[in-house]
Amino acid sequence: MDYRDAGVDIGAADAAKARIKRLARGTFTTAVLSDIGSFGGMFRPDFSRYREPVLVASTDGVGTKIQVAIAAGVHDTVGYDLVAHCVNDVLVQGAVPLFFLDYIALGTMDPERVEAIVAGFARACSEFGCPLIGGETAEMPGTYAAGDYDLAGFIVGVVEKARALTGSAVREGDLLIGLPSTGLHTNGYTLARKVLFDTLGHSVSTALPALGTTVGAALLAPHRSYLGALEPLLDRGKVRALSHITGGGFAGNIPRVLPAGLAARVRSGSWEVPPLFRLIQSGGGVSDAEMFRTFNMGVGMVVVVAPEDLHDVEHSLERRGETSFVMGSVVQGEGVIFE
């Protein structure tokens, strides 16, 4: 017997790594000092613009959105989703990305599928200016079924210590500005798939007039990054806190950036909830509380600003082509209060 007889194809892995190397090199900047294939990625940051640079690191996955990608046979979007998600996670502390690493685990090594996944990584890394400097691709038969795979992303960013967003600057009376999502982003897919596929009997190819597209395309809409829209405001100190609305929805994320004794009062009618969320809610008989606890409901990022900075912030976002809406305020209390 050899390793291939046991279920691991080293030849296929080498072919996949050759494709990864080509894609990753396209994201490199002069700060990258090593090539893909080294034991560790080497990166020389330029901290000349910082007095006290602080590194901000995060790791995440895209959950069962991967099952939709597998069903649709579309694999070049979930990699993009993962990078965008990780960029947003360090952005909420005021950091801009420095570099990104990935982890891909598969039941069976498929070089073409791996290439499609990494193409999504590369597209996002190039767009957000965070080179893909390394990662791991693991074939794991027995742990994953033949057609299954999973992804994880690792990001490191940097922020000036004095400008790091910790939530301590938030005050009663501050305003909550919502930035729209492009769909579910990367959370709530287990419930969404249960309702749309199991309860309603749809497939990824079902075209629904209410969505204006197929169910699969709606579910695979890319996770947005808000880096381009928010970086100028962060540079000017116009943001008091940011909350990335991911797993846990509103109640699980907004309070994370509020000081003790303060709550978020959210006007739930201040924005139009996209049709996909309404379809899931009606199709599954899901309560309002559960929807707002599970999904972003059309709000991908919440920006906390001082009232006197509202017009300045709105103007800056508009110039960047970003839609925004005032969705509430900071009040005394605890958690999230809907009205």
pLDDT of residue 113: 95
- With contact defined as beta carbons under 8 Å apart, do 83 and 227 qualify? no
For residue 297, the model assigns a pLDDT of 98
Residue 143 phi, psi (nearest 5): -95, -40
Would you say residue 180 has pLDDT above 90?
yes
* Continuous H helices in 184-261: 189-193, 215-219, 227-235, 249-253
Mean pLDDT of 115-133: 97
Task: Tell me what the pLDDT averaged over the chain comes to.
Answer: 96
Residue 7 — very low, low, confident or very high, per pLDDT cuts 50/70/90? confident
On whether the CB atoms of residues 199 and 323 are closer than 8 A, the answer is no
**Distance separating alpha carbons of residues 25 and 44, to the nearest angstrom:** 16
Instruction: Provide the b/e sequence for 240-255 (b: ≥16 CB within 10 Å).
Output: bbbbbbbbebbbbbbb
Residue range 10-163 in CATH 3.30.1330.10? yes
Question: Per-residue pLDDT averaged across 109-115, rounded?
Answer: 94
> What confidence score (pLDDT) does residue 4 get?
80
For residues 322 and 230, give the distance between their C-alpha atoms in angstroms, rounded to a whole number: 10
Predicted pLDDT at 303: 98
Residue 217 is predicted with a pLDDT of 98
Give me the pLDDT at residue 10, please. Answer: 82
Mean pLDDT computed over 116-133: 97
Q: What is the pLDDT of residue 216?
A: 98
Question: Does residue 99 carry a pLDDT above 80?
Answer: yes
> Rounded mean pLDDT of 218-247?
97
Amino acid code (one letter) for 34: S
Euclidean distance between the first and final Cα of the chain, in Å? Answer: 66
State the Cα–Cα distance between residues 117 and 127, nearest whole angstrom: 16
Is the Cα torsion angle 6, 12, 14, 16 positive or negative in sign? negative
Q: Indicate the domain borders of the chain.
A: 10-163, 175-338
pLDDT digits (tens, 9 = 90+) for 276-320: 999 999 999 999 999 999 999 999 999 999 999 999 999 999 999
Q: Is the pLDDT of residue 5 over 80?
A: no
Query: For residue 107, what pLDDT is reported?
Result: 95
Looking at residue 81, its pLDDT comes to 98
CB 111 within 8 A of CB 75: no
Q: State whether CATH 2.60.120.10 applies to domain 175-338.
A: no
Average pLDDT over residues 186-191: 97
Q: How confident is the model at residue 54 (pLDDT cuts 50, 70, 90)?
A: very high
- Please report which confidence band the pLDDT of residue 3 belongs to, taking 50, 70 and 90 as the band edges: confident
pLDDT band at 12 (very low <50, low <70, confident <90, very high): confident
pLDDT at residue number 178: 98
- Say how far apart CA 282 and CA 47 lie, in whole Å: 51
